[in-house]
Structure 1
Amino acid sequence: MPKIVDREEMQHAILDSAMKVYAKRGYHAATIADVAKEAGLGKGTLYLYFKNKEAIALAMVERHFKGMEDRFFQTESPETLDAFARSLSETMNIPDEQARFIRVFFEVFGPSFASDTFSAKVADFFDRLGSHYADHIRHLQAIGQIRTDADAAKLGRVFASLIDGMILHKGLFSISSARHDALRREALEMFVRGLVA
C-alpha cells in the first residue's frame, strides 16, 4: 500500500529545508538538487510540490507574511498602555529562524521592490498593521490611557514602522537577543512616556 503524504505538511517541510539551504549557500547559489537533498527527497519528488526554485521562494514569502499576519493581527485591544507596550514588544521579538529569513527575503526579493505591484503588496500589509494599531490607540484614548491629542492613525503607522525596523535590524545585522531586548525596551519606554494621558 503506498504511503499517504499530507501535501501541505510536505510543502512546509520543503520550505524549511529550502530556508536552511538558502541561509547557508545563498539563494542564487543554491540549486533545486540542494533543497531536495536537504529535504531527503529526490529532485523529481520535489517537483511534485514546487515547479521551480522561484515557486519555492514565493511560497516562503507567502508563508512568512501569513505567519506575521497570524501573529500580529490576533491581539485584542489592550486595556492599559503598559499592556499595549508589552504586546508591541512581543511582536518585535521574532524567533531566530524568522530573523534568518530576512536576509534570504532581501536577496531573493530585493530587486522586486522596484515593481509597483510587489511594493504595493508589502505596503498594504504595513498599512493594515498601522490601522490595527490605530484601533488599539483609539481604544486606549477612549478609556483614558493615552493622550487624546495624539493622532491615532499616524501613531499606528509609526508603530508598524518601528516593528518593521526592529525586526529588520535583528535579521539583517544579526543582533544578539540580549541587545535586541534592550533596544525594544528602550524604544517602547520612550513611546510610553510620551503617550501617558
Structure 2
Amino acid sequence: MARTAEPGRRDSILDAAHAVFARKGYAAAGIADLAGELGIGHGTVYRYFENKRDVASAVLDRALGRIAEVVAADPPDATAGLDEYRAQVWRIGRRLYALFAADPALGRLVFFDLATVDERLREQHREALDRFADYTAAYLRNGQERGFLRGDLDARVTARVVNGMVFEGAAQVARDPTAVALRDAWIRAVVMLMFDGLAQPGPPS
C-alpha cells in the first residue's frame, strides 16, 4: 500500500531546506542533507518533491510570499495625504527589515543563493519582482490620484526604482542582522529620497 502524505511534513521539509540551503549554499546541498536535517529517509523527501530544484523553487516561493505578506499589511489606498504615506512607508520598511533581521537566511536565499540557480528559478524571481513592482506602483498611483504625489511620475518605473533601494537595503540587513542602526539608516535614506523627489511641488513662496 502506498504511504500517504503526512500533514505538515512538506512544510517541515521546506523549513529544513531553508536552513540547509542558507548554511551550505544550494550547489553544495543535497537531498541527503535535507533528509539528515530532519532525520528522515531520502524517499520521504521524494514523496513531496521531484528533486532538489523542485525543493528550491518551493523554498523561494514561500520566502517571496513572506515578503509580500509584510507589504500587503498596509493597503495601497489607506493613505490620503503625504504625511500618512510617509508614515506608511516607515511602517512597511520597519516590518520588512525586521523580517530579514529575524531570519537572515531569508535574505541570502532570496537575493543571492536561489535567485540565480537556473533559468526557471531566475524567471520565478523576476515574476515575483514584477508583482512587487505592481504593488508598489499601486501606492504611487494612490498618491497621484489624491494629488499628493507628482502626476508626471511613471508609476511603474518609479516603483522599480523604489523597490531597488528597499531590496538593496534588505540585502545589507541580511548580511548584518544585528545592526539596528543600519536598518534605520536605510529606511531613513529611502524615505528621504522618495519624499524629497516625489512630493507634489508646492506653490512658490
TM-score by length of 1: 0.77
Aligned residue pairs total: 190
User: Unpaired segments of 5 or more residues in structure 2?
Assistant: 201-205
The equivalences for 1:30-179 within 5 A come to 30-73=29-72, 75-76=74-75, 77-79=77-79, 80-90=84-94, 92-93=96-97, 94-96=99-101, 98-105=103-110, 106-112=112-118, 115=119, 118-171=121-174, 173-174=175-176, 176-178=178-180, 179=182
Residue identity matched to 1:139:
N
CA offsets 1:61-87 (integer angstroms, 9 cap, x no match): 122223333333453123122233224
Distance 1:130 1:31 in 2: 33
Preserved contact between residue 150 and residue 198 of structure 2 (Cα < 8 Å): yes
Distance 1:108 1:56 in 2: 11
Q: CA distance change for structure 1 residues 174 and 44 in 2, over 3 Å: closer, same or farther?
A: same
Task: Measure how far apart 1:175 and its partner are.
Answer: 5.2
CA offsets 1:29-82 (integer angstroms, 9 cap, x no match): 333222212113222323322233222212111222233333334531231222
Identity %: 25
TM-score by length of 2: 0.75
2:6 aligned partner: 5
Preserved contact between residue 57 and residue 121 of structure 2 (Cα < 8 Å): no
Task: Measure how far apart 1:11 and its partner are.
Answer: 0.9
Q: CA distance change for structure 1 residues 57 and 123 in 2, over 3 Å: closer, same or farther?
A: closer
Which shows bigger deviation, 186-195 or 83-92? 83-92
Residue identity matched to 1:78:
A
User: Unpaired segments of 5 or more residues in structure 1?
Assistant: none
Q: CA RMSD in A?
A: 2.9
Residue identity matched to 1:95:
F
Preserved contact between residue 36 and residue 42 of structure 1 (Cα < 8 Å): yes
